[in-house]
Each structure stands twice: as structure tokens, then as C-alpha cells.
Amino acid sequence: MKLTGNCQTTAMGIMPHTDIERALELSLSLDIPFWPQLPRYSFYEDMYVQISEHFPGIIVDFEKQRISFSLEKFYGELDHLLNNWDNDDFFRLSPEYSVLFHRFLEMDLSPYQYVRGQNIGPVSLGLKILDENKKSMIYHEEVKGIIFDFVARKTEVQLKDMLEKHPGSFVWVDEPGLEMIFKAFTGYASDRAQRDYRSFLENFPGPKGVHLCGNPDWSFLLQLDLDILSADVFTWGHIFSRYKEDVKDFLDRGGIISWGITPTLTEEYEKENVKSMIEKLEEMWVYLENTGVPREQILSQAWLAPSRCCLVNPDGELTVEKSYRMLKEVSEHFKAQL
């Protein structure tokens, strides 16, 4: 599936809503809708909990809303995983673990060119969940390979389910942890992480997409075999756009950049408006134009999105919804240039 950009709007999966129908309504108001993840609605909707269904060694405490890992439990459950490796039902996202996914697939998605799903990525999953000794499970060498293969398999089955509903379906992975692997304190050497991630992408079904909100090694990400790179350029665009040669090569290979531009944090949103968001994108895009990237190429291979997910605003979902409205106005401005 060859993807087109044309400044279509989309957004990250995590939303602060507790009302399922309102969250779906907001998602479906964008050019590329997605099934929402609502951790405030249920801990089952937390992205780490969702991906952990049937992963050996995982312990979910729903009362305390904690997720942890046991190496002993991992070995006790590993055979069950391996015996079910070719069973799609085993890797399917169940209604218990995501009401929203199944509700999304029940809706009329035919008007849309694309629809999107998402999973937490293997690096973020492996770094986030700790064992009883506070050690990230990705540091267990015998576990790390299973993490990468498991996420790829879950992504494959999610995409299969979505393709039955819509031919323009794709799934990307959220990878906040990719920012961390390039910091020495993680104990996960960046050269090893790069090899692991390239191998992971070889097993990644459909268009290969990664989203993150941080400031990683952009050269590494832009040089990966990716079809989609989603970034928070509201915060990090002044750095991201300076990787001009890597950005140009990525676009020349046909890649889509999802430019996360409209702020979702209340104190940031209140300082901005549609004009300032347009100017911020213009500054980045003019810089790229001046280094040899045609404006037509930038626009035709761009999606636009809010800058990041946000669950911490005191106004709940209000600022996030305002950010979506601002996003659509910014998008219309640039669509007029196509």
C-alpha cells in the first residue's frame, strides 16, 4: 500500500476521555481515524496492559493499576506461548482488553482513505515493565527476543482484523522508549538496539510506522526501513528539521512524516493560535526547501497531528479537543497549497 500525505490529519491513540462514544466521534472527525486508547476509562485500555495480554510472565494488578514481570512466571508460561504461536486467536486483542478497538471496527469506516491502529513498541514495552528486582524485562536476554517477536505478531493479527474491515488499514507502534536507548544510563547499548530494531521491522506487517514524542537519534530513525515517522515537531521540530539530509533521503524513499504540531498541554495551547502554528511549520518547511526539498514533496508526504498525547490537563479532555479543532484549521491552510 503506497501511502499519500497531502496534509491529512490524524492523532495518537491515547486520549483523556472516559466517554467511549465521544472519543470515537473525535477520532472520526480526522482524515485518518484510529481506535482510541482510554486509560481513564479502564486500566485494560492502558497501552502496556493491552499489549501484555498472553505475554508470559506478566502480572497485572488491576486494583492498584500496576503491571510487572516475573522471570519465574515467564519460564512457566513460555511453552504455552510457543505452542500457540501460529494461532491468531491467541494474539488477537480481546474485547476485554479493548472495548474501543472492537467498537471502532463496528463503525462505518468506508468514507476514509486510511484507518489506523497502534501498539506499544517492543523497546518501550521492554524498558517500562520491571521485574521484582526493579530490572527492566528487556535486560533479560532470554526475554528480549520474545518481546520483539511478540509485538510483531500482535501487530500482524491486529492488522489482519482491521484489513477485514477496511483495505486502507495500517498499524504503527508508539515508541517513547526509543529516546531512552541513546542515553548511557539505560544499559541497553544503542548499537545493539539498532540491530534489534532493524530485525523487528523485517517482521512488521503492512506499512511500517513509528511514533514518538521525544528527541531520539533522528538519523537512526530516519534511516530505518520506515514508511511513516510520527514526531512531536511542536517541541522538537527545530532539531528534527536540521537533519535535512536524512529528512530528504527519507522523503525520497517515499516516507510519510506525521508532523505533530498543535499543543495538547493547556499552558502551551493557551500561548498559541492557528497563525502561530502555521508559522512554526512554515519555518521548518522553508528551511528544508532551502536545502533542496521541494515544497510539493513536503506537502504531498505530510500528515498533520497534535504534538503528543496528554492525560495531565486539569480540564480533562477540553484542551485536547481544542487542539484537534486547531489542527483541522492548520491542515486546511496547507491543503490549499496542494
What gap in Å lies between CA 75 and CA 78, rounded to an integer?
5
Determine the pLDDT at residue 184. Answer: 53
Domain holding 279, by residue range, is 232-338
Domain termination residue (choose one: 180, 212, 244): 212
Longest dimension (CA), the chain: 58
Note whether 140 and 40 are same-domain residues.
yes
Domain termination residue (choose one: 177, 212, 247): 212
Summarised one tens digit per residue, pLDDT across range 261-297 is 999 999 999 999 999 999 999 999 999 999 999 999 9
Mean pLDDT (whole number) for 154-171: 97
Q: Is 337 inside a domain boundary?
A: yes
Q: Provide the domain count of the chain.
A: 2
Summarised one tens digit per residue, pLDDT across range 182-207 is 665 556 666 777 888 899 999 888 89
Note whether 255 and 207 are same-domain residues.
no
Note whether 160 and 284 are same-domain residues.
no
Beta carbons of 103 and 20 less than 8 angstroms apart: yes
The overall average pLDDT reported for the chain is 95
Q: Is 20 inside a domain boundary?
A: no
Query: pLDDT-derived band of residue 312, with 50, 70 and 90 as boundaries?
Result: very high
What gap in Å lies between CA 126 and CA 143, rounded to an integer?
9
Note whether 263 and 118 are same-domain residues.
no
pTM: 0.96
Q: Is 278 inside a domain boundary?
A: yes
Backbone angles phi, psi at 105, to 5 degrees: -70, -15
Summarised one tens digit per residue, pLDDT across range 12-65 is 999 999 999 999 999 999 999 999 999 999 999 999 999 999 999 999 999 999
Mean pLDDT (whole number) for 306-330: 97
Note whether 139 and 259 are same-domain residues.
no
Amino acid at 179: E
Instruction: Give the CA angle between residues 204, 26, 285 to the nearest 5°.
Output: 65
Task: Quote the distance between the C-alpha of residue 278 and its chain's center.
Answer: 24
Summarised one tens digit per residue, pLDDT across range 224-263 is 999 999 999 999 999 999 999 999 999 999 999 999 999 9
Report the percent of the chain where pLDDT is more than 70. Answer: 97
